[in-house]
């Protein structure tokens, strides 16, 4: 029967006031605690930049193989086992040979679960390296989990460095997230030209100090490196004196004597010691400052530098010096990053999108309300009241959860307005049918509600399924659509069964003797 308990009515009333309150808190400007919660605007509405970065792990893997080769050499030397021809094959495996009598020894060392040379991961039941051998020729390949370990740790490192660099630039509320095992998502609200950040993230910032040598007689070997400005190609030793890891600070400065912009830096204790030793021995030599495989500058060492600080000059503008200092401060990325997806929306477009979205919402809303009024008269008023409250519930809930509203999300709200009346229409049409056969109006209304229920549920569940799939498989703005569409289904069902039903029953009980009720 069309009866409601007092508690039921009270709860509905309180909830309605609550959501209206939260909806309104979106447009209030005060900074007090009650109105604090607001719907977040997506990047497409407030403007901003979305960058998806992919980390190129190959250099990390190669470095790991190189390090492993060195530790293998040392390890077997300590254990008095001769190995020879240790080498890295095609950048993916370590090969070496041993004497026939040592084969078993080498095997047992490499397959020792408690050993340190080939680490065993208990949780994956796998070694770091897979070991194969054909008689005395051994082959070590990173296992699946060994590779995953390396990738995760390089991703973790990279994300930390990315965060530092982005923070140093000082954009508001950046969002930096892991995506899969080799990607980083960077969201920068309010940034309409991500050029600087893109430049900063595109650099590995691997800084080394190395001597320039004349010949190839270096024990470590040397390589030909180009200068940043393309002015010369130098023969640079592969021996690293100090690297960026040993820097504690770097700042852009104006050199008073030369009037040049430079980057000054300070070494930590270890770095200062090494740098001091090398410059003491190398007076008169040229010291190359190498960044990401290019020589920035190569000054001649005039005297030993033991104070643990120095400066880099190299034709900087103040901006490039600032950026270099920032890169040096934040540290080197373990591997290069590549931007594989970029989406940037300027603030102008974002504002326009909000305006047009709200206009469409308003007009859609008015059209639907006018149509329902025209079609159902008094019951149109009931349906429209429900619809308005539905909108408040939808916006209020989005506010409470501080959900992110996107342009497709606004479209989802408008679509909810269009489809929400469906439930009331199903009920009203059913009631009309029931009234034809049933004299008692109250019974007819009750039956109308009961008999339309399964159709209403079906209709909403099908839409909910679509919204759920979009939520789990969609990305960015589309997710916003799924959120509003899905939430809209729940608010629709709630308002129809609690508010519209209450209003209809109040009306019907009062006017049960009227000839044409609906």
Partner 1 sequence: MKNNIQFNRFYKVFNFISLALVIISVLLIFFKGLNFGVDFKGGTLIELRVNDKQTNISSLRSAFNSMNLGDVAIKNFGNENDYLIKFEKKDKDKNLIQNIKKDLTKKIGPVYEFRRVENVGPKVSAELLNKGLIAIAVALGAMLFYIWIRFEWQFSIGAIIALFHDVIITIGIFSLFSIEINLSIVAAVLTIVGYSMNDTVVIFDRVRENLKKHISIKIFELTNISINETLSRTIITSVTTLLALLSIFIFGGEILKGFSLAMILGVIFGTYSSIYIANPTLVYLNVSYRTVVKEENN
Q: Contacts with partner 1 in 51-70 (CB under 8 A)?
A: 52, 54
Burial of 170 (0-12, 13-18, 19+ CB in 10 A): exposed
At its nearest, how many Å lie between partner 1 and the CB of residue 456?
A: 9
What character string, x for contact with partner 1 (CB under 8 A) and - otherwise, covers 29-48? ---------------x----
Tokens 């969609």, residue located: 474
Q: Indicate if the alpha-carbon torsion angle 349, 352, 357, 360 is positive or negative.
A: negative
Tokens 């719907």 sit on residue: 39
Residues from 80 through 139 that contact partner 1 (CB under 8 A) = none
Among 131, 360, 388, 493, binds partner 1 (CB under 8 A): 360
Q: How far apart are CA 146 and CA 208, in angstroms?
A: 28
Single residue of 444, 467, 496, 499 touching partner 1 by CB under 8 A: 467
Judged by CB, which is closer to partner 1: 381, or 455? 455
The helix (run of H) or strand (run of E) holding residue 233 is strand 233-237
Closest C-alpha among 153, 198, 155 to residue 56? 155
**What kind and span of H or E run contains 350?**
helix 347-376
Query: Quick one: 419 or 509, whose CB is closer to partner 1?
Result: 419
Footprint of partner 1 on 298-357 (CB under 8 A): 338-346, 348-349, 352-353, 356-357
CA distance 144 to 150: 10
- What is the distance between the alpha carbons of residues 306 and 278, in angstroms, rounded to a whole number? 10
Binding mask 2-21 for partner 1 (x = CB under 8 A): --------------------
Beta bridge pairs of residue 404: 40
Of 231-239, 258-266, 418-426, 499-507: span binding partner 1 (CB under 8 A): 418-426
Stretch that binds partner 1, among 93-101, 117-125, 235-243, 412-420 (CB under 8 A): 412-420
φ, ψ of residue 138 in degrees (nearest 5)? -105, 150
Beta carbons within 8 Å of 294's beta carbon, 6+ residues apart? 225, 226, 227, 228
Question: Contact with partner 1 (CB under 8 A): which of 475, 506, 511, 514?
Answer: 475
Helix (H, G, I), strand (E, B) or coil at 269: helix
Instruction: Report d(CA 345, CA 49) in Å as an integer.
Output: 6
- Least distance between partner 1 and beta carbon 322 (Å): 18
Q: Which is nearer to partner 1, 128 or 344 (CB)?
A: 344
Among 70, 469, 506, 511, binds partner 1 (CB under 8 A): 469
Ranges within 170-209 binding partner 1 (CB under 8 A): 193, 195, 198-199, 202
Dist. CA 46–CA 404, nearest whole Å: 11
Q: Name the residue nearer to partner 1 (CB basis): 310 or 357.
A: 357
Q: Does 282 bind partner 1 (CB under 8 A)?
A: no
Can residue 236 be called a binding residue for partner 1 (CB under 8 A)? Answer: no
Kindly tell me which of 107 and 433 has the beta carbon lying closer to partner 1. Answer: 433
Q: Based on CB atoms, which residue is closest to partner 1, 302 or 437?
A: 437
CA atoms of 324 and 327, how far apart (whole Å): 5
């Amino acid at each position: 029967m069309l009866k409601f308990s007092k508690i039921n009515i009270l709860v509905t009333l309180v909830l309605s006031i609550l959501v209206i309150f939260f909806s309104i808190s979106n447009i209030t400007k005060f900074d007090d605690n009650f109105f604090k919660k607001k719907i977040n605007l997506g990047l497409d509405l407030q403007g901003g930049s979305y960058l998806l970065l992919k980390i190129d792990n190959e250099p990390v893997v190669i470095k790991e193989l190189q390090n492993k080769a060195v530790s293998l050499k040392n390890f077997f030397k300590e254990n008095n086992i001769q190995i020879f021809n240790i080498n890295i094959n095609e950048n993916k495996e370590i090969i070496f040979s041993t004497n026939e009598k040592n084969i078993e020894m080498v095997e047992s060392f490499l397959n020792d679960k408690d050993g340190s040379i080939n680490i065993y991961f208990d949780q994956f039941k796998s070694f770091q390296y897979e070991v194969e051998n054909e008689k005395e020729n051994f082959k070590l390949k990173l296992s699946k989990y060994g590779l995953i370990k390396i990738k995760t740790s390089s991703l973790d490192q990279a994300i930390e460095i990315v965060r530092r660099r982005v923070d140093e630039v000082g954009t508001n509320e950046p969002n930096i997230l892991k995506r899969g095992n080799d990607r980083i998502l960077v969201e920068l609200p309010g940034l309409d030209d991500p050029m600087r950040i893109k430049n900063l993230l595109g650099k590995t910032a691997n800084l080394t100090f190395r001597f320039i040598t004349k010949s190839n007689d270096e024990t470590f070997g040397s390589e030909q490196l180009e200068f940043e400005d393309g002015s010369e190609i130098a023969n640079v030793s592969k021996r690293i004196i100090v690297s960026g890891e040993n820097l504690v600070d770097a700042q852009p400065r104006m050199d008073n004597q030369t009037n040049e912009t430079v980057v000054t830096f300070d070494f930590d204790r270890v770095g200062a010691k090494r740098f001091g030793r090398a410059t003491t021995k190398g007076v008169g030599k040229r010291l190359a400052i190498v960044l990401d495989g290019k020589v920035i500058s190569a000054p001649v060492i005039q005297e030993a530098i033991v104070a643990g600080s120095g400066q880099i000059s190299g034709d900087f503008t103040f901006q490039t010096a600032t950026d270099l200092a920032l890169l040096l401060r934040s540290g080197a990325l373990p591997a290069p990053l590549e931007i594989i997806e970029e989406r940037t929306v300027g603030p102008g477009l974002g504002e326009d999108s909000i305006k047009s979205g709200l206009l469409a919402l308003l007009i859609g809303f008015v059209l639907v309300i006018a149509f329902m009024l025209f079609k159902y008269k008094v019951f149109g008023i009931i349906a429209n009241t429900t619809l308005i409250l539905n909108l408040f519930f939808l916006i209020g809930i989005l506010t409470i959860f501080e959900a992110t509203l996107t342009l497709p999300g606004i479209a989802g709200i408008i679509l909810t307005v269009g489809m929400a009346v469906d439930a009331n229409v199903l009920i009203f049409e059913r009631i009309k049918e029931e009234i034809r056969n049933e004299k008692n109006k109250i019974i007819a209304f009750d039956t109308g509600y009961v008999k339309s229920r399964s159709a209403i549920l079906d209709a909403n569940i099908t839409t909910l399924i679509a919204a759920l799939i979009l939520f789990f498989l969609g990305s960015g703005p589309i997710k916003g659509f799924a959120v509003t569409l899905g939430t809209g289904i729940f608010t629709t069902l709630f308002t129809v069964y609690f508010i519209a039903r209450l209003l209809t029953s109040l009306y019907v009980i009062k006017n049960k003797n009227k000839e044409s009720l609906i």
